[in-house]
Structure 1
Amino acid sequence: MRLHQIHSATLLGLDAKIIEVEAAFNKGLPSFTIAGMAQASIQEARHRSQSALCAIGFHFPPLKIVINLAPSDLSKQGSHFDLPIALLIALYDREIPPNSRRSWFALGELGLEGRVKENQNIYPILLSLAEQGYAGDILLPKENETLYRSIPRLKLHFINHLQEGINLILSPQESPLEVANLPFSSLEIGGIPYYYEERYELDFLDVKGQEIAKRAALIAAAGFHNLLMEGSPGVGKSMIAKRLRYILPPLSLEEVLKSAKARLHEQGELRYEALRNARTPHNTSSKAAILGSIGAGGEPKPGEIALAHGGILFLDELPHFQKSVLEALREPLENQSFVVSRAQAKVEFEASFLLVAAQNPCPCGNLLNPLQECRCNEKEVTRYKNRLSEPFLDRIDLFVGMQENEGEAQSTQSSKELHAQVLKAFKAQKERGQEVLNGKLSERETERFCPLQKEDSETLLEAARRFGLSSRAMDKIKRVSRTLADLEGSEAIQKKHLLEALSYRRR
């Protein structure tokens, strides 16, 4: 049997898409063609591969060589395709021993003398492959071996030269799966570890008073429920939002890898954290910056909602964001994903995030302040509030009106104590068999995991009639009630949980 295919990958936004690199050697005028929407960096691989193959004594056959990158309708780029292309050509007439046949994956740029070199796309591709659970053997440049070995769940082989890659495929060596060795605290549930950090750079002890808002923040963190805080400037809205990140639920290994991938894309930092990402775009950000876009060459560019996947998206001064942006957020808030479509491409970004928002009660901010006079007239206040549509507000689980603290208000709980409660609620949700947290349950999952007693169902229906609650709002109330029960360690949702959940609805 001969080798006719090797896997490689191209980056599509934050994700790696596996590419089949195929080779055909046909009768005809000698030529070397690369097909499959290959960008200039891949077309140049012909010259680098030819030079590297000649350097190891390879003689090109008098045939028409066609390299195809499948799927052919996906744009591909990156000099890391050099290695798989050269390996396919070098092995075109070599028989692969039966005990050497396996799925091979190769990434690496070639020097003209055949040396295998590092490429900036390799690390994010490997992070994405680990997240996807790729099971094949992967050939990589040895010069970055230490960094690559930090990525768990992959079978890695390291080479310095093209000839080493050829020899390895003909006589492969076993490579064990790299294991996760993350230096974080962990919580094991059902044999699966979930990682978290016990560091609280910003502590809730710094927030004086505002007990209702801090209670709502705890509920939001424990169940990933969307939170909107309204209050005068300086009451502590931003302080609470910035501290939420440190009490969020722990992460699975897949989520740690997703977080590292987003951080690498945005900041170029090659490190793991057991803290969920937090994004704070400014209210002047464009629609493309928030939602994502597709470049002129068909390259997807993730926006803030994709970079916040699995973490927090904090929108301060919420009514000042473009109305078109706020309305577009309704889709990811409902579906936990967002599709960007253009004539040349269509890309879906994962966007399951905890929305935390803050706003003033009026344009000047003093409407609720007993010590300052509000300078806004009724028309200005109405226009300001109307920037947020009812369908958008209906997707907010928790609404908190914050008042000015009077006297010497004190803090009652630290971030460490709040985090311990979140871990308790997280464990209850996972042991119940939930794949997602309470705030992200589907309608069917809500019926399964958030059942109400008959009397409580009647109470909820009465509240829906009185306050005009939609079916979506009723489901959200059930999910918040479920989180309140989890925080208390209660297996069943009780009436007090339902009533507290109702108290956080905007009316």
Structure 2
Amino acid sequence: MKIIKSASLDTIDAISIDVESTFTKGLPTFTIVGMISTSISESKDRVKSALLTNGFKFPPLKITVNLSPSEINKKGTHFDLAIALQIAFYDQKNIDFNDIYFFGELSLDGNIKDTSSIFPIILSLTKKNLINKVLVCEESAKKLSNIPNLEIYCVKNLDDAINFIKSNKKEEFLFKKNPLEYKVLKINEIEYYFDTNYIDDFQDVIGQDMAKNAAVISSAGCHNIIFEGSPGCGKSMISKRLKYIMPPMNLEEILEKAKLQSLDYKEVDFLPIRAFRSPHHSSTKSSIFGGGSSNAKMGEIALSNNGILFFDELPHFSKSILEALREPLEDNKILISRVNTKIMYETKFIFIAAMNPCPCGNLLSSVKECRCNEMEIQRYKGRLSEPFLDRIDLYVVMNDAFSDNKNFVSSKELHEKVISAFIKQKKRGQSELNGKLRDEDIKKYCILDDESENILEKAKINYQLSFRSINKVLKVARTIADLNNNEIITKNDLLQSLSFRKR
């Protein structure tokens, strides 16, 4: 029995699938078995049409195709090619498929198409060292070309795929890989990529020097941040420009971002610009955290991994969503449990939020009068609990921006500062940026001078800092020290870090 290799997605990980077949005498039928979805069941008509339009006779036999292991649910139209090849070579015993994996959806005329699941499947198989050769169409090959240690063979249609299997010169079908063409930093033998095209530039933001400084600190150290200010003062403008000054990305992070894009049915790009997710405040809890009645599906926090999750109008999000955010913000991961599935997602994102100071928004305005009473303001701000705010590294109160403020700074200048701080963190041997350091790493990297030690002891008492708050202060101070080119945390670094705590 000939076996052709393919694979299927199980939530976000791939499982290798063997496509096998039997051809027996009896009433001509064509059956696919093995816990298949509707998309695979429908492939019978696509495969039959593709074979017939390319001059192949469909065998007048009882055909059974099995996708093994049978206890795993399988879905996706990318099995079409493997099933068609089983039938095309049904009467040839000496065919060797050489442990090559086959992926592709067939059109009715035999052309091979890309699907949204092919890239995440092959990336997952590569990470597990289960695959080193794959046959796909040209559109798929372009996406896969950035995956290291993978031989990619490229064909256009079913006829080409059959010729490839028969050929003794398979190298003729090899797809030529093109390296990523972005600016590169090499630190400790690892390459990090970054882009210098700033579509949204910080030059557009008038004034707000403190908020811009906080944005640089947040970006350089991967710190969570809340902007509070009157409507129109620049909270959302700063937040949306922050992704362009984020630290460089290594190849693994770029591929992971592309994988999440593909799973979200978005156009895959390999830009070294981190993901930016901005759900509306009316979004449901399952859309934010992941849901599904039987199978776990990704939510916004999983799709923003290694990027930014932005909540505009923060207090208008439901209380249950804000409180549920506490765990992924603290642990950098979330476990979604459903009847048939349990899956762990990484949530190493920067959480950015923007909010008004009161329901009408004019409490901090220098020109408009606030229409809210004390109880309305307390109820509005009371939606944010202390445990939630304790997970925020930087809390920035923004005043009105005046048109005569000519203090402009470009994204290019800010990005250079972030990259400089990033290099310092990586050269210290940190696997994570300052904002995501574990408790044991804080003692190793967040070293204070004697004067700073005394100030921190006083701050613990005066500000009633919790253990988590102290760690947050130290992490932010470490990033500020990196931006100020200080080897250890100084008095000014610590004082600036304390100034960003919510009072």
TM-score, normalised via structure 1 length = 0.86
- Pairwise CA distance, 1:83: 2.2
Correspondence for 1:478: 474
1: distance between equivalents of 2:199 and 2:48?
Answer: 54
Query: How many residues of Structure 1 are paired with residues of Structure 2 in the alignment?
Result: 495
| SS of aligned partner of 2:431 | coil
Correspondence for 1:200: 198
Mean CA deviation greater in 417-426 or 170-179: 170-179
Correspondence for 2:372: 376
Correspondence for 1:238: 236
Q: In 2, are the aligned partners of 1:279 and 1:304 still within 8 Å (CA)?
A: yes
2: distance between equivalents of 1:48 and 1:366?
Answer: 62
Equivalent of 1:120, from 115, 122, 130?
115
| SS of aligned partner of 2:101 | strand
Q: In 2, are the aligned partners of 1:21 and 1:85 still within 8 Å (CA)?
A: no
Mean CA deviation greater in 325-334 or 459-468: 459-468
Q: In 2, are the aligned partners of 1:127 and 1:151 still within 8 Å (CA)?
A: no
| SS of aligned partner of 1:275 | coil
Structure 2 vs 1, CA of residues 342 and 194 (structure 1 numbering), >3 Å: closer, same or farther? same
Equivalent of 2:221, from 213, 220, 223?
223
The sequence identity of aligned pairs, in percent, is: 41
1: distance between equivalents of 2:375 and 2:230?
Answer: 19
Structure 2 vs 1, CA of residues 350 and 430 (structure 1 numbering), >3 Å: closer, same or farther? same
Correspondence for 1:41: 39
Which string of whole-angstrom CA distances, capped at 9 and with x for unpartnered residues, describes residues 109-156 of structure 1?
A: 34677x3521433554467448847642111135x3674465443321
Instruction: Summarize the alignment of residues 282-297 of structure 1 with structure 2, pairs less than 5 Å apart.
Output: 282-294=280-292
1: distance between equivalents of 2:113 and 2:401?
Answer: 57
Structure 2 vs 1, CA of residues 65 and 146 (structure 1 numbering), >3 Å: closer, same or farther? closer
Q: In 2, are the aligned partners of 1:480 and 1:501 still within 8 Å (CA)?
A: yes
Alignment of 1:411 onto 2:410:
no
Structure 2 vs 1, CA of residues 227 and 127 (structure 1 numbering), >3 Å: closer, same or farther? farther
Equivalent of 1:105, from 101, 105, 116?
101
2: distance between equivalents of 1:418 and 1:180?
Answer: 30
Equivalent of 1:359, from 355, 376, 381?
355
Which string of whole-angstrom CA distances, capped at 9 and with x for unpartnered residues, describes residues 423-453 of structure 1?
A: 1011111222222211112222323322334
- Pairwise CA distance, 1:96: 6.2
- Pairwise CA distance, 1:84: 2.3
Instruction: Summarize the alignment of residues 317-336 of structure 1 with structure 2, pairs less than 5 Å apart.
Output: 317-336=313-332
Correspondence for 2:71: 72
Structure 2 vs 1, CA of residues 214 and 173 (structure 1 numbering), >3 Å: closer, same or farther? same
Q: CA RMSD in A?
A: 3.3
Correspondence for 2:422: 426
Residue segments in structure 1 that go unaligned for 5+ positions in a row: none
- Pairwise CA distance, 1:163: 6.2
Correspondence for 1:338: 334
Q: Which residue type is aligned with residue 43 of structure 1?
A: S
Structure 2 vs 1, CA of residues 24 and 316 (structure 1 numbering), >3 Å: closer, same or farther? same
| SS of aligned partner of 2:442 | helix
2: distance between equivalents of 1:37 and 1:43?
Answer: 10
| SS of aligned partner of 1:502 | helix
Mean CA deviation greater in 384-393 or 205-214: 205-214
- Pairwise CA distance, 1:343: 2.1
Structure 2 vs 1, CA of residues 494 and 131 (structure 1 numbering), >3 Å: closer, same or farther? farther
1: distance between equivalents of 2:467 and 2:124?
Answer: 39
- Pairwise CA distance, 1:414: 1.7
| SS of aligned partner of 1:352 | coil
| SS of aligned partner of 1:271 | coil
2: distance between equivalents of 1:407 and 1:137?
Answer: 60
Correspondence for 2:7: 8
Correspondence for 2:275: 277
- Pairwise CA distance, 1:417: 0.7
| SS of aligned partner of 1:68 | strand
| SS of aligned partner of 1:339 | strand
- Pairwise CA distance, 1:41: 1.8
2: distance between equivalents of 1:358 and 1:414?
Answer: 22
Mean CA deviation greater in 432-441 or 251-260: 251-260
2: distance between equivalents of 1:359 and 1:421?
Answer: 27
Q: In 1, are the aligned partners of 2:23 and 2:90 still within 8 Å (CA)?
A: no
Alignment of 1:493 onto 2:489:
yes
Structure 2 vs 1, CA of residues 95 and 489 (structure 1 numbering), >3 Å: closer, same or farther? farther
- Pairwise CA distance, 1:169: 4.7
Q: Which residue type is aligned with residue 76 of structure 2?
A: G
- Pairwise CA distance, 1:24: 6.8
2: distance between equivalents of 1:371 and 1:163?
Answer: 73
Which string of whole-angstrom CA distances, capped at 9 and with x for unpartnered residues, describes residues 26-55 of structure 1?
A: 999898654442112213345555676786
Structure 2 vs 1, CA of residues 493 and 122 (structure 1 numbering), >3 Å: closer, same or farther? same
1: distance between equivalents of 2:444 and 2:103?
Answer: 45
2: distance between equivalents of 1:130 and 1:248?
Answer: 29
- Pairwise CA distance, 1:262: 3.8
Which string of whole-angstrom CA distances, capped at 9 and with x for unpartnered residues, describes residues 232-266 of structure 1?
A: 22222122112212211111122223333444555
- Pairwise CA distance, 1:66: 5.8
1: distance between equivalents of 2:24 and 2:468?
Answer: 64
Q: In 1, are the aligned partners of 2:111 and 2:158 still within 8 Å (CA)?
A: yes
| SS of aligned partner of 1:331 | helix
Correspondence for 1:23: 20
Structure 2 vs 1, CA of residues 34 and 266 (structure 1 numbering), >3 Å: closer, same or farther? closer
